[in-house]
Structure 1
Amino acid sequence: MHSFLGAPALLLLLSGAVGGGKTSVAQALLGEHHFRKVSTSTYLSGLAASQGLANEREILQRLGDDLDLATDFLWPVRIAVSQVEASNAPATQMWLLDAVRKPQQIAHFRAAFPRVLHVHVTAPEEVLRTRYEQRQRLPGSRDFHSTYDQLISHPNEIASRGLASLADAFYDSNKLTAREIAADIVRRARELRHGPSGAD
């Protein structure tokens, strides 16, 4: 897939373990630093609803896996391109996708977008377990069917955790707050925007 016209100033890819802090970091970037969000989870939830399926993690993972096979892992990139182009946002706008899970997806994003920053967010295992079990007790949780041990043995979770080795930056959300991580991401993003690929 080739770079498209009207590409944004930067696309941020967030990866990491479930409970690692991706959502909190994304909220800080959206609320305080004016990023805009590419939402693949909304697409999967809509697809599940159209097929009469529950909005649960295992079901959404299966739908995503099916799309990976059908599109050679390109479907999140196509959603991102579609949402960016439809937004009519200025060329200086920075975007984020908070749920990249496969190395093949990252490769496609780097081919399609001229400036991509991949950040991995996680925490120590005991912290991840505690956060997950707390999340399970929340009303409307997608995670109430799976134990933590079942979660971490799922191929998608294994793949997500393995993306740390491909990331441009790595953060421990047990040592830094979401706001601190977001601020450092913005610093890195500004450096990338004004780097060898060109300036605004």
Structure 2
Amino acid sequence: MGKKIGSGLLVGIAFLFFVLHTVSSSSPEFSHPRIVIRDFEGMPLQIDSQRPYSPKQTCGPCHPYEKITQGYHFQQGRTDATGRIAISDSYDSQRPWNLSAGMFGKYRAATWDGSLLANKVNRSPSEIDKSAFSFVRFCGVCHPGGGFGEFDRGGNLYYQERTKTLGWKLGVDNPQLDGDYTLFSMGVADRDSAWER
């Protein structure tokens, strides 16, 4: 009996040491200097702005934008390791709710609201759970990346800086039912426009 108590005590102490050591030895809290979020013209965005932000204009002045935005971490599953678009409505036939292998498109039950990214093509608003815009808006804090916040699933910029054209005008049949451009989230029209229309 004494051996069991001693072993249990030893296991408990080892467990506490592991937990406390992991917490205390984790990297110090990272603090990025305050930045101004900018639009595609380099103008600062206000908190209530409906204009899309530009990772290139926001992050590019201090970071190697072209190199970084090709990385998997910044694409979050939108593209594969070769840069090809990997996210697809038919990505996983066994688990059709998964649209990619990354955080952008892979369902996780432990999300703050339990929602999943909407398919690119939908038949009705009731099929739309979380639009790409909603993902950027609510999940971008934990899952930063220029890829899914800058390019739609067809590889088009959400906003063409050179031509001043919004991406949905470049061939999207029905932006209301397109998972990248819809105003719907969880089947309801969001009062906050994704991008000016």
TM range (shorter): under 0.3
Which protein, 1 or 2, shows the higher relative CO under an 8 Å CA cutoff with sep ≥ 6? 1
Q: Point out the structure with max Rg over C-alpha.
A: 2
- What is the TM-score when the length of structure 1 is the normalising length? 0.27
- What is the TM-score when the length of structure 2 is the normalising length? 0.28
Greater share of strand residues, 1 or 2? 1
